[in-house]
Homo-oligomer: A and B are copies of this chain.
Amino acid sequence: MLICKVLKPLVSTNRIPGFEHKHLQVVLDGSSKKVAVDAVGCKPDDWVICVGSSAAREAAGSKSYPSDLTIVGIIDHWDPETQQQISGGAK
């Protein structure tokens, strides 16, 4: 799963019916922006866990939901800087 930062909701009026009324969020994965279906109810600046691949469908509510990236959890505490140092020290 990816560790992403929530940027803001995405509005797409003209979309396929399969998306239903679920919320879409723009998330930051490293330096690239992606769109994820919100299955937990998050807000901008939250650090979240995003699941991709075919698991994103079931995570969004049903096996036929057309998602390839779904927010499945909000991380309790995440500090990208500190995390980097721990990783370097463990080598």
Q: Contact at A74–B1, with CB atoms within 8 Å? A: no
Q: Contact at B76–A72, with CB atoms within 8 Å? A: no
Complex contacts, A70 vs chain B, CB 8 Å: 66
**Secondary structure dominating the interface of A:** mixed
Interface size on A, residues (CB 8 A): 57
- 15 A-B contacts (beta carbon < 8 Å): A1-B34, A1-B36, A3-B26, A3-B35, A12-B49, A12-B75, A13-B76, A14-B40, A14-B73, A16-B40, A45-B90, A53-B54, A53-B68, A54-B54, A55-B56
User: In chain B, what residue has the closest Cβ to A1?
Assistant: B35
Residues of A within 8 A of B (CB): 1-3, 5, 7-8, 10-16, 18-19, 24, 26, 28, 30, 32-36, 39-41, 44-45, 49, 51-59, 63-70, 72-77, 83, 86-87, 90
